[in-house]
Chains A and B, each alone.
Chain A
C-alpha cells in the first residue's frame, strides 16, 4: 500500500482552509467595489451556489473513485486534448502557487514591514512551502486540521472583538440597485473561494479513507469556509463601510485595526494576519502539491519529490515578476484571474460531465 490516505475530517479541513485562504483578505475590496453595501448579499449567494457547485464536483469525481483529476481529464477527453488541458491545469497550479507568496510578501511589505525586501519575505514563506509539500500529503493533511482550527479561532476572535464598532447604518440601503450587483460580486468571491477547490479533486475521492461519506464533509468544509469569508465581508462593510472597504487592499486587516477594547485588546490586528497566513498556507500547499502530482502524472516522474526543490526556487523567482505592481494586479484579477479560474474550475468540469454523460449514453453503460 503506497497510497496516501487521509481522513474525512482532514478533507473537511482542506476544503475549508482552501476556501478561506483564497478569499478572506483579498476579495472584500473587489466585492465592495462592485456591489457597494450589498456585497455581503453577494457572499451569501456565492455560498449557496458554491455548495451546489461542490456537490457537482463530488458527483463527477465519485464516478471515478480511483482516479485523480488529471486522470479523469485524460480518460474523458482523450490523450491529446486531455494532455493539453492538463498542461493548462498545471499552469494554473504553478501560477497560483507563485501568486500566494506574492500576496504574503505584498501584504507584509505594504502593511507591516515596509523596509523589508519582498523576496526575503517570499523566500522564507517558500521554504516553509517546500517543507510542507515534501512532507507529503498525509502529514500536511494532519497539519491542516490544526491550521484550520487555529486560523478559524483567531479569525472569529478578531471578528467578535471588532463587533462593538459595527454601525448598522453602513448596510443601508439594502439592495439599492437591485439584485444584479450582488450577483456580479458573488462571481468574484467564488472565483477566489469556490472554483479554486477544483484542486481538491486531485485527492478526492482516490485518497480518502471513507469515500462514501466524504462528499458530505467536502460540502461541509466548503460551507464553513464560505461562512468565514461571508463574516469577513459582512463585518468589513458593517464596521468600515463599503467606501473604505473598496479602497483598502487588505480590508480584514484594516478591520482588525479597529479593535480597541481596554489596553490588552488593542493593536492585535496581527491575529488576522495569522489566521490568514495559516489558511493561505493550506491553499498554497494544496496547489503546489496538485501541480507537482499532476506534473508527475503527465511526465511520468518516478520520484516527484526530487523536483520540489528546483520548482520552489522557480516559484520564488516567479513571485518576483508575476505582478509588476498593485494596479496591474487589480486589473489582472478582473480580466485574467476570473475568466481563467472559471474556465478551469467551472467550464472544464461541466464539459467533463457532459462528455461523461454522452459517452455513457452512447455505450449504454459505465465508461
Chain B
C-alpha cells in the first residue's frame, strides 16, 4: 500500500483546471481534491493500491471507516486478490467494474458530488488512474438496533416486531408482509444539510394517484436544512399547520403500516426513525389499533366504543365537574351534592383552581415519567400516588372528588391508541376547563361546537378529517365506530382508494352461502 504523494504546486494548479464537478483522469489529482474537500477528516480512508506484477495500473479505494461494514471490506480485499492476474493495463477500470457488478451492488458515475454522496452513504468508491469515472460498491454498515418489540404501541395479540432506525430494514419489514409487485417504492432525499433518505411506499392501483402526486409535490417543496424525524415532514406538509390534531398516522408497527397500505394510504419512511407516517389519515384512524382486526369483531367493536368513550371522558370530565359544581348545582342528584359539598368543606381553592392545579400536576407527572431515568420510575409513582393523591386529600388541600376526576381523565387519556391524538385531546381539555370555569355547561357546549367545526375544517392531504362521518358516506361507516366483520367490509375506505375499490372479490357475493351453513 502506498500513501499518495505530497501535493505539489503543479498538482494544485492542475486541480484548479478541473471542470468544477467532474473527475479528472489523473488519480492523484482526484484524490487530492477529495481530501481537501473532506479536510482533516480522519475517518476517510484512502488506500492507493498497485499490483506488483502490473505496475502501471494504480487504483484507489475510498471509504469512511465509521460508516462501512468491516466484513465487506475484508471480503472485498479477498475478491480483489483473486482478480490479480486477470487485470491488464488498459482495462483496469472496466475489468474491476465488471467483476464487482457481477457479484455486488454497484453504481457508476463521473460527478464529484455523486461520489461524495456515495461515500457519505457508507459505500466504497473505486477510482482508477486514467479513468474519468468512478464506481462504488455497496458496503453500508447496517448495524444498529435489532428488530424489537415497539416501545410505545404495544399489543397483546398480533405481530410484535417494530420498526428500527434503519430505512432498508423498515422497508423489508413491510415488503415481507405485502408480497406483490404493485407495491411501489419511491426514494426522495430531503434536507440540504442532512440529505435524509425518504421513501414513499404505496400500492399502485389501490392508492389514489392524485394523493400520491400531492404528497410527492409537497415533500419536494420542503425547504429545510435538516430532517431528523418524520415529524419534520409532517409539520411541513400538513394541510392546516396550526391545528393540534395529527393528520398523519405515525406507527412503529409494520403490520399497521401494511394495513394502511392496503387501505390505499401512502406510507412515508424516514431514515433514522422507527416511526413511519401514513397519510391521508382521518380522525377515526387514530382510535383504531391494529389489534382490532386480530380479535373477534364484536369484542373489537366494544373496545372501540370504549376508546371513543375515553375520548369524551378525557376531554370533558374535568370541565363537566367544574361546570356543574360551580354553576349547575341543580343538575346533581341531592345525595351526591351533599357528599361533594361535605368533601369540599375546608378546601381553600375554587373547583376550577383545584382542577387546574391537579391537572397540571398530572401533566408534570406524565412528563417526568417519560423523561426520567428508568431506574427511578417506582419513586415517581410513589410520590405521585401517595403524596399527591392521598396526602393532599387527607390534608384537606384538595377534595377527594377532584382527585377521582383527574385520575379518570389520566387513565382514559392513555387508552387512546395514538399518543399524538391523546396529546391533542389533553391539550384541548384545558380549554374546556377554562370555558367551564367561565360560564359552565354553556361554555362546554360552545367549546364542543367550535371543536366540531375545527375537526370538520381540517384536512389530511385534501381528505376531510371527519370523512366517513361528515361528509357522511353511505356504507362507509363499517370500520368507524364499530368494526364490522372482515367479510362484510367489502370496499376500501371511501375517498382514499384509487381504481381498485373492492377488498373482497366480486365472486364472494355470488357464492351460494347457504350451502356452507350447517344445521344441527
Contacts and interface: CB of A to CB of B under 8 A. Distances in A.
A127 B464 CA distance: 23
Contacts of B330: 267
Interface in A202-219: none
Contact of B456 (A9, A124, A142, A268): A142
Given A142-B456, A263-B333, 5 more contacts: A121-B439, A135-B456, A139-B456, A143-B453, A146-B470
B443 A147 contact: no
Interface of B: 327-328, 330-331, 333, 435, 438-443, 445-446, 449-450, 452-457, 464, 466, 469-472
A145 B439 contact: no
A6 to B, nearest CB: 9
A146 B456 contact: yes
21 contacts: A112-B328, A113-B327, A124-B446, A127-B446, A127-B450, A131-B454, A132-B453, A135-B456, A136-B457, A140-B453, A142-B456, A142-B457, A143-B452, A143-B453, A145-B472, A146-B452, A146-B466, A146-B469, A270-B441, A277-B445, A277-B449
Contact of B471 (A120, A127, A142, A273): A142
A125 interface: yes
Given A10-B471, A132-B453, A143-B453, A124 B442 contact: yes
Nearest to A143: B456
B442 A128 contact: no
A198 interface: no
A273 B444 CA distance: 13
B338 to A, nearest CB: 14
Contact of A142 (B440, B441, B442, B464): B464
A140 B449 CA distance: 11
A112 to B, nearest CB: 7
Given A113-B442, A145-B470, A263-B333, A278 B457 contact: no
Interface string A138-152: 011011011100000
B7 to A, nearest CB: 62
Given A128-B450, A270-B331, A281-B449, A121 B442 contact: yes
Contacts of A142: 456-457, 464, 466, 470-471
Nearest to A268: B331
A58 interface: no
Contacts of A278: 449
A267 B472 CA distance: 33
A135 B445 contact: no
Contacts of A143: 449, 452-453, 455-457, 470
Interface string A103-140: 00000100011001000110011011001100110011
B188 to A, nearest CB: 28
Contacts of A120: 439
Interface string A246-290: 000000000000000001001110100110011001000000000
A146 B131 CA distance: 70
A116 B470 contact: no
Nearest to A133: B453
A62 interface: no
A304 interface: no
B517 to A, nearest CB: 37
Nearest to B457: A139
Contacts of B439: 113, 116, 120-121, 124
Nearest to B474: A9
A266 B457 CA distance: 36
Nearest to A139: B457
Nearest to B465: A142
A75 interface: no
B298 to A, nearest CB: 23
Instruction: Tell me the interface secondary structure of chain A in the complex.
Output: helix
Interface residues of A, number: 34
A62 B400 CA distance: 63
A7 interface: yes
A10 B466 CA distance: 14
A9 B470 CA distance: 9
Contacts of B471: 7, 9-10, 142, 145
The list of the 8 closest CB pairs from A to B, nearest first, reads A139-B457, A142-B456, A143-B456, A145-B470, A142-B470, A135-B457, A143-B453, A128-B446
A125 to B, nearest CB: 6
A309 B435 CA distance: 21
A145 B457 contact: no
Given A9-B471, A143-B456, A124 B443 contact: yes
Contacts of A140: 453, 456
Contacts of B453: 128, 131-132, 135, 139-140, 143
Contacts of A10: 471
Contacts of B443: 124
Contacts of B331: 267-268, 270
Nearest to B458: A139
Contacts of B464: 142
Contacts of B457: 135-136, 139, 142-143
Contacts of B456: 135, 139-140, 142-143, 146
A9 B457 CA distance: 17
Contacts of B450: 127-128, 131-132
A139 to B, nearest CB: 4
A367 to B, nearest CB: 34
Contacts of A132: 449-450, 453
B442 A147 contact: no
A113 B331 CA distance: 13
Interface string A220-238: 0000000000000000000
Task: Specify which of B327, B435, B453 lies most central, judged by the most chain A CB atoms within 10 Å of its CB.
Answer: B453
Contacts of A116: 439
Nearest to A274: B445
Contacts of B333: 263, 266-267
Task: Specify which of B327, B454, B456 lies most central, judged by the most chain A CB atoms within 10 Å of its CB.
Answer: B456
Interface string A154-177: 000000000000000000000000
A321 B327 CA distance: 27
A120 B446 CA distance: 13
Nearest to A125: B446
Nearest to A282: B449
A268 B330 CA distance: 10
A266 B332 CA distance: 9
Contacts of A281: 449
B254 to A, nearest CB: 33
Nearest to B444: A274
Given A131-B450, A270-B331, A278-B449, A108 B466 contact: no
A21 to B, nearest CB: 13
Nearest to A105: B442
Contacts of A113: 327, 439-440, 442
A222 B448 CA distance: 25
A145 B469 CA distance: 8
Contacts of B327: 113
Task: Specify which of B333, B438, B442, B455 lies most central, judged by the most chain A CB atoms within 10 Å of its CB.
Answer: B442
A325 B472 CA distance: 42
B472 A147 contact: no
Contacts of B469: 145-146
A72 B292 CA distance: 53
Nearest to A263: B333
A300 to B, nearest CB: 27
Nearest to A9: B472
A194 B456 CA distance: 27
Contacts of A135: 453-454, 456-457
Nearest to B467: A142
A135 B469 CA distance: 18
